[in-house]
Structure 1
Amino acid sequence: MEFTSITADQLRDRPDPRPVDESETVLDGAIWNVRRETFRMAGQEKPLVREFITHPGAVSIVALDEQDRILLINQYRHPVGMRMWEIPAGLLDVDGEPALDAAQRELGEEADLVAEQWDTLVDFDNSPGSSAEANRIFLARGLSEVPTGDRFAREGEEAEIVAGFADLDDAVDAVLAGRIASPAAALGIMAAHTAKARGWRTLRPADAAWPARPELAG
Structure 2
Amino acid sequence: MPQDRYAPRPVTGRERLVEGMKWDVVADDFTLEPPEGQDVDPVTVRREYLEHPGAVSVLAMDDDERVLLLRQYRHPVRHELWELPAGLLDLDGEEPLLAAERELWEEVDLRAGRYDLLVDFLNSPGGSDEAQRVFLARDVQVVPETERFTRENEEAGIITAWVPLDEAVADVLAGRIQNPGAVIALLAADAARRAGWSTLRPVDSPWPMHPTYRPAPRGTDAPST
Give TM class, smaller chain: over 0.9
Which range moved further: 40-49 or 107-116? 40-49
Aligned to 2:197: 200
CA distance in 2, matches of 1:214, 1:107: 24
Aligned residue type for 2:181: A
Aligned 1:138-153 pairs, distance under 5 A: 138-153=135-150
CA contact (8 A) 2:120 2:134 kept: yes
* Residue number in structure 1 paired with 2:222: none
Query: 1:3 is matched with which residue?
Result: none
Question: Which of 76, 101, 115 does residue 104 from structure 1 map onto?
Answer: 101
TM-score in terms of structure 1 length:
0.93
2:56 counterpart letter in structure 1: V
User: How do 1:16-27 residues align onto structure 2 when only pairs under 5 Å count?
Assistant: 16-27=7-18
Q: Is the 8 A contact 2:112 2:141 kept in 1?
A: yes
TM-score normalised according to structure 2 size: 0.90
Q: How many residues align?
A: 208
Please, what is the CA RMSD of the aligned residues?
A: 1.2
Unmatched segments (≥5 aa) in structure 1: 1-7
SS of the residue aligned with 2:211?
coil
Quick check: 1:55–1:214 contact (8 Å CA) kept in 2? no
In the other structure, the counterpart of 1:184 is 181
- State the distance in 1 between where 2:44 and 2:69 align: 44
Matched-pair contact (CA < 8 Å) for 1:87–1:184: yes
Could you say what secondary structure the match of 1:163 adopts? strand
State the 1:46 CA deviation.
Answer: 2.9
Q: Which residue of 2 aligns with 1:174?
A: 171
Query: Could you tell me which residue of structure 2 aligns to residue 39 of structure 1?
Result: 30
Structure 2 segments unaligned to the other structure (5+ residues): 35-40, 219-225
Residue 186 of structure 1: SS of its match in structure 2? helix
2:223 matched residue in structure 1: none
Among candidates 53, 56, 76, match of residue 79 of structure 1: 76
Instruction: Determine the C-alpha separation between the residues in 2 that align with 1:184 and 1:26.
Output: 27
String of CA shifts for 1:158-200, please: whole Å, max 9, x gaps: 0000011001111111100111000000000000011011100
Equivalent AA in structure 2 for residue 90 of structure 1: G
The 4+ residue runs of structure 1 with deviation greater than 4 A are none
Q: Give 3-state SS (helix, strand or coil) of 1:108's partner.
A: helix
Equivalent of residue 29 in structure 1, options 20, 26, 35? 20
In 2, the alpha carbon distance for the partners of 1:46 and 1:207 equals: 39
CA contact (8 A) 2:14 2:28 kept: yes
Alignment partner, residue 4 of structure 1: none
Partners of 2:206 and 2:115 in 1: CA distance:
15
- The corresponding residue for 1:130 is 127
1:12 equivalent in structure 2: 3
2-structure distance, mates of 1:136, 1:30:
22
SS in 1 for 2:77: coil
Are the counterparts in 1 of residues 110 and 142 from structure 2 also a CA contact under 8 Å? yes
